[in-house]
Amino acid sequence: MTLKISISGVRGLVPDSLTPEVCLDFAKAFGTLLAEKSGPAANTVVVGTDPRASSEFIKGIVFSGLLSTGCKVIDLGICPTPTVGIMIRKLKADGGMVITASHNPLPWNGLKFMREDSIFLNENQARKLIKLYETKKFKKGKPKEIVTDASGIDVHIKKVLKIIKPGAIRRKRFRVALDCVNGAGSVACSKLLNRLGCRVESINCDVTKPFPHDPEPIAKNLKSLIKLIKQKKADIGFALDSDADRLAIVSEQGRPIGEELTLALAVRFILEKNQTLGSKKKLIVTNLSTTKAIDDIAREHEGLVIRTKIGEVHVAEQLKELKGLIGGEGNGGVIYPPVGFNRDALAAMAIILKLMAASRQSLSQLVDAIPKYYMIKEKRRCQSQSQADDFIEQVKDSFRKKNLILTEGVKVVLLNSWIHVRASNTEPIIRVIAEGRQKKEVKNLIKQVLKPRR
C-alpha cells in the first residue's frame, strides 16, 4: 500500500510506487476530466510544486500528460499549495495540479488536483478521475503551450496584505522565528513577514536544500525552532510543512502549543472582528477530529460550528456553500475564504499576528485563555482497506451503547471526552484521535481502542 490513491490525491514512494507511468496517466486522466466538463475548448491548468528533488522530474512528466490531452499549462514553479489555488482563480484557469506529498517525508511525493474554483476534487470528482486513470480512456488533443508565470507568490502576499490590513502588526515590530523545512513556503513566508514589518529570524528556508527533518510540523520536529526562539528572544515561532498549507506555532517561551490551537486562535480573532454579525452568520466549519475548544470559542462569541468529514475539500465546500467566516482542520490548516478556499499558512500567520497586535497579549497569554483539553493522536498501520474496516467495526461494537457519530469511521462521544477512529486518506494507517478534559481519561480511551484484539 505504498501507493495511496484517495480523495486527497495520489501519494507514493519515488520511484518504487509513484512511478513515471502513474504520474503520466494521472495527468492524462485529469486533462480528460476537465475536457469532459468543458467540451472541446482547450483547458488551462496551473501547476505548482514543492522543492523535493523528485518534483521537477515529475513536473515534466505531468506536463507531457496534460499537453497530450490538449491542455495549456501554466508553470508557477516552486510555490505553496494555496498559491496555486489563488492563481487558478486569478488566471481563470480550468483547474490546477500540485506536485507535493505535503507532510510525508522523503522519498514520498504526490499529486493533488484542484477545480476551477480552487477547491480540491470532492469524492465524486475524485472517483471519476480514478476511473479514467484505471480505464486509460484518455482524450487526445493537439498540444498547447507551456507558459511560465513566476508571479504567484507576490500575488498571494498582496492578497493577504490587502485583506488583513497590516498596520497594527507593523507597529508592533514582532520578532518572528521561522522554520519552513526548506519547503515551498520558504520564500513566500519570509517575504510576507518582512512586508508585515516583522524582524525575521529564519532557519531551513532554502529550497535548494533537502528537508532538515521530517516535514510534518509536530512537536518532535520543532527542536531547532524552539532553540532559535530562546536564542533570539522571539515573540513567536512559526513552522510549516513542505507545501505551506499547515502552520504550527511555538510560543515566546519555546513551547509548542499544538497544531489544534492554530485554528482555535484564528477563529477567536475572526469572531471578534465580526462580533456585530448575527449569530446565524457566525459560521465556523471544521472536521470531526478537531478540538472541542473551537466549539467553546464559538459559543463564547455566539457563533455556530459545523463539522464535516475529514479532508480539506469537505470543509472548503461547506465554507463556500454556507458562506462561513473561517474554517480549517486541527492539523494547523486554516481556510480563510476572503483569501482563498485552501488551507493557507500565509493567511494563518497574518491572522495570528493580527490577533497578538489587536489584543496586546503575548502568544502564551492568548493560549492560556483557550479552554484546556488534552488530545492524543495515535496511528496503527494496516495492510488493506478491509483490515481497516474490520478494526473500525470492532470499535463500533465495543462502544455500541454510547453516542456514536458514523459520518466517517466512528466517533465516540462521551460526557467529557471523545475518540475518533478512521482510515487515513493519505497513508496506509488507521488514525486514532482522542480528546478530553482529563489526560488520564484520554489515555484510557486510547488504550481501550488500541488494545490487542482477537
- Residue 287 main-chain phi, psi, to 5 deg: -100, 175
Distances (CA, A) of 319 to 104, 107, 128: 27, 34, 23
**Would you state the pLDDT for residue 39?**
63
Q: Which of 54, 68, 102, 118 is catalytic?
A: 102
Asked if residue 113 and residue 51 are part of one domain, the reply reads: yes
Res 425 pLDDT > 80? no
Domain-embedded: residue 368: no
Asked if residue 269 and residue 244 are part of one domain, the reply reads: no
Q: pLDDT-based confidence at 280, cuts 50/70/90?
A: confident
Interval 49-67: pLDDT, tens = 999 999 999 999 999 999 9
- Write down which residue in 218, 250, 282 finishes a domain: 250
Q: Is 190 a catalytic residue?
A: no
Domain-embedded: residue 161: no
Q: Mean pLDDT throughout 178-199?
A: 98
Res 427 pLDDT > 90? no
Note down the domain range covering 193. Answer: 170-250
**Would you state the pLDDT for residue 274?**
96
Asked if residue 103 and residue 39 are part of one domain, the reply reads: yes
The region, left, alpha or beta by phi > 0 then psi within -120 to 50, assigned to residue 363 is: alpha
Question: What is the Cα–Cα distance from 444 to 434, expressed in whole angstroms?
Answer: 10
The region, left, alpha or beta by phi > 0 then psi within -120 to 50, assigned to residue 293 is: alpha
Sheet containing 326-329: order of strands: 304-308, 283-287, 326-329, 333-335
Question: What is the Cα–Cα distance from 271 to 250, expressed in whole angstroms?
Answer: 23
**Would you state the pLDDT for residue 382?**
87
* CATH number of the domain bearing residue 27: 3.40.120.10
Interval 30-44: pLDDT, tens = 999 999 876 666 799
**Would you state the pLDDT for residue 385?**
82
Interval 357-370: pLDDT, tens = 999 999 999 999 99
**Would you state the pLDDT for residue 2?**
80
329, 291 in Cβ contact below 8 A?
no
Largest CA distance in the chain: 63
Q: What is the pTM of this model?
A: 0.95
Asked if residue 286 and residue 218 are part of one domain, the reply reads: no
Res 454 pLDDT > 60? no
Res 92 pLDDT > 90? yes
**Would you state the pLDDT for residue 181?**
98
Domain-embedded: residue 362: no
153, 188 in Cβ contact below 8 A?
yes
Question: What is the Cα–Cα distance from 357 to 170, expressed in whole angstroms?
Answer: 9
Strand partners, 331: none
Which residue did the predictor score with more confidence, 198 or 385? 198
100, 112 in Cβ contact below 8 A?
yes
Strand partners, 250: 237, 256
**Would you state the pLDDT for residue 452?**
67
Which residue did the predictor score with more confidence, 386 or 129? 129
Question: What is the Cα–Cα distance from 33 to 132, expressed in whole angstroms?
Answer: 8
